Amino acid sequence: MYLSKSKYCKGFQCEKMLWLEKNMPEKSEDINNDNVFDNGTEVGILAQDLFGPHKVVEFNEDLSQMIEDTNNYLKSDKIVLCEASLSYNNNFCSVDILIKNNDEYEIYEVKSSTHVSDIYLEDVSYQYYVLTKLNLNVTKCSIVYINNKYIRNGALDIHKLFNIKDVTDIAKSKLLSVENKIKSIENYMNNTIEKDKDISENCFSPYPCPFYKYCSRKLKSPNVFDIASMPLKSKLKYYSQGKYTYESLINENINEKYKQQIEYNLYKKDDYINKKNIKKFLDTLSYPLYFLDFETYQQSIPKFDGVNPYMQIPFQYSLHYIKKENDIINHKEFLAKSSNEDPRRALAERLVLDIPRDVCVLAYNMSFEKNVIEKLAMIYPDLRDHLLNIKDNIKDLIIPFKNRDYYTMKMDGSYSIKYVLPALFPNDPTLDYHNLDMVHKGDEASSFFSSIDSLNEEDKKRVRESLLKYCELDTYAMVKIWQKLNEVIK
């Protein structure tokens, strides 16, 4: 079969994944990696400038044309060639950056990650195998990846933005194992009927498999893989012992929170409400009461001064507030105009206008909001005191649920607001994130905002409205949860 480096990496993770992709693609679940792909493309193009003047093999659906173009370029004694496309015995690869210096070749694989993972080593080793089999003298293999310690200050310095790790010895040591794996993949792909393959770590790592739901369809649900926050290693251990149903796990010596989730599901237990502890938490709050939620996005390549790769950049917040008991609920919000302009100063200025000093602020999982505000305080000294005052007065609405002082079967062992909200308000369509347009969760908000400047005015308006509605629901949900807590202690 024709095998590219991406297909090799999929086959390395799980040969059945590759077989299903070819023979039963309709069984695949959509795993949204668009933003990751966009980051990778942007990073890859930028990295092409690392070694000076270069040539690029233009993409062509006819791979033979790309191979021919590559061979023509490599007639030069010295060249930096990007997307160099080569094939040996139907094993094809495009090398991100290939440097030729007379009869010596260097491979550079570019990744938008901030670390070197094992699957990247397999990727490079596959390329080394293909080039070596073509009798090219590969003297160096490296992985180019993002240096997340780099902070932009002025013009972008790509030599500081990227780290380069020499993995030549590793690639050489894997030459035989790559060859054996290619044979194994080829043999598996020759199967005309689907072969059974058991659930394993490969279903989840290094990437989530889009066929997991299909392959696990015979498992009774719920099962061990549905237990919230249990480490994957533990789940696989119980599964390998045949203890994957809730019935088979109920008498195991496991963490109490896991057991609680199992018991509530098996026995349909009534809601657990510790009124004393909930009241103790609510007594720490005071009016006026503000409910705050930020949305952030990340840049693999920092566009603004003072930003490092993948730093959380706040671009939006929603703020509901109640001035006194039984008063009306008010709402304020902020959404940056463009992802190409640094939104932090404008956001920080609005925040200190919207939230007075010394008031009680509620967040859900407050460490995120506190971290955002603390970083804003560091870069804007004139706003520092007010911002830190807001930070120091934040309290966490997650506490009653994290401590299991309020627990229901429908929370499925999770204290995430995306589980708590529908568990507390199962029949309220106004609190259902699925009913929102376009933006339903945080990563979608980040992705839409990141690309908003590339849209036409009509689409841009729709995205902005969707972002505002989504973020508003986050803080309105907190208001409703807070009200519910007050209701249950009466």
Residue 33 predicted with pLDDT over 60: no
**Is 5-189 a domain of CATH 3.90.320?**
yes
Q: What average pLDDT score do residues 408-428 get?
A: 95
pLDDT at 31: 74
Integer Cα distance of 480 and 425 in angstroms: 9
Q: What average pLDDT score do residues 294-298 get?
A: 97
Give me the percent of the chain exceeding a pLDDT of 90: 97
* Cβ atoms within 10 Å, residue 451: 16
Q: How confident is the model at residue 367 (pLDDT cuts 50, 70, 90)?
A: very high
pLDDT at 465: 98
The domain locations on the chain are 5-189, 219-267, 270-490
Instruction: Name which of 485, 291, 325 is nearest 401 in CA terms.
Output: 485
Residue 50 predicted with pLDDT over 90: yes
Q: How confident is the model at residue 38 (pLDDT cuts 50, 70, 90)?
A: low
Mapped onto helix, strand or coil, the DSSP state of residue 269 is coil
Integer Cα distance of 350 and 332 in angstroms: 10
Cβ(467)–Cβ(337) under 8 Å? no
CATH code that applies to domain 270-490: 3.30.420.10
Q: Is the peptide bond before 222 cis (omega within 30 degrees of 0)?
A: yes
Residue 400 predicted with pLDDT over 80: yes
Query: Which tens digits make up the pLDDT trace of 237-259?
Result: 999 999 999 999 999 999 999 99
Give the burial class of 40: count Cβ atoms within 10 A of its Cβ; 0-12 exposed, 13-18 middle, 19 or more buried: middle
CA distances from 256 to 230, 264, 363, 419 (A): 11, 12, 27, 19
Q: Strand 91-101 to strand 104-110: parallel, antiparallel, or no bridges (unpaired)?
A: antiparallel
Residue 35 predicted with pLDDT over 90: no
Q: How confident is the model at residue 39 (pLDDT cuts 50, 70, 90)?
A: low
pLDDT at 349: 98
Residue 307 predicted with pLDDT over 80: yes
pLDDT at 40: 78
Query: Which tens digits make up the pLDDT trace of 93-102?
Result: 999 999 999 9
Query: Which tens digits make up the pLDDT trace of 191-218?
Result: 999 999 999 999 999 999 999 999 999 9
Residue 12 predicted with pLDDT over 90: yes
Query: Which tens digits make up the pLDDT trace of 423-453?
Result: 999 989 999 999 999 999 999 999 999 999 9
pLDDT at 171: 98
Integer Cα distance of 95 and 290 in angstroms: 53
Element (H, E) at 99: strand 91-101
What pTM was computed for the model?
0.92
CA distances from 265 to 168, 228, 269, 410 (A): 52, 13, 7, 8
Give me the percent of the chain exceeding a pLDDT of 70: 98
